[in-house]
Amino acid sequence: MPISGAYVVASNDTAGTITITTGINYIPTQPSQDTPYPLAAGEQMTVTFDEAFSTVPRITLTPTSPEAASMNYYITKDTTSFTIHFTNTPTASTTYSFDYQAIQ
């Protein structure tokens, strides 16, 4: 049976550190999902702000691990959250770390 990974966000609404640790054959399960899904390019995780911004903030995402630095990624965002997407498939049993900053 595949083993799922985990993710950690240590932050406030304006800055934080994101750590995505992949499992074996699965990416981390979001809290709102019942089951993990296979490792794949695309949406990896969503960071939801405690309080919505009045306008869509500018998000700066900086890789803080060699694995994250080698990953191709982009974000989508709105006033309440942002989502990290990988354009290539993450590697199993690997940690991807990022710092972020949200500026209004």
Query: Which single residue is written with the structure tokens 């991807």?
Result: 96
Number of domain units in the chain? 1
**CATH number of the CATH domain containing 34:** 2.60.40
Q: Is residue 40 part of a domain?
A: yes
Domain hosting residue 78, numbered range: 6-103
Q: Is residue 38 part of a domain?
A: yes
User: Residue 5 pLDDT more than 90?
Assistant: no
Sequence-distant (6+) residues with CB within 8 A of 46 are 30, 81, 82, 83, 84
pLDDT in tens, 45-103: 899 999 999 999 999 999 999 999 999 999 999 999 999 999 999 998 899 999 999 99
φ, ψ for residue 97, nearest 5 deg: -120, 140
Put simply, whether the predicted model's pTM sits higher than 0.85 gets the answer no
The whole-number pLDDT of residue 9 equals 72
Q: Is residue 1 part of a domain?
A: no
In what helix (H) or strand (E) does residue 6 lie, and over which residues does it extend?
strand 6-11
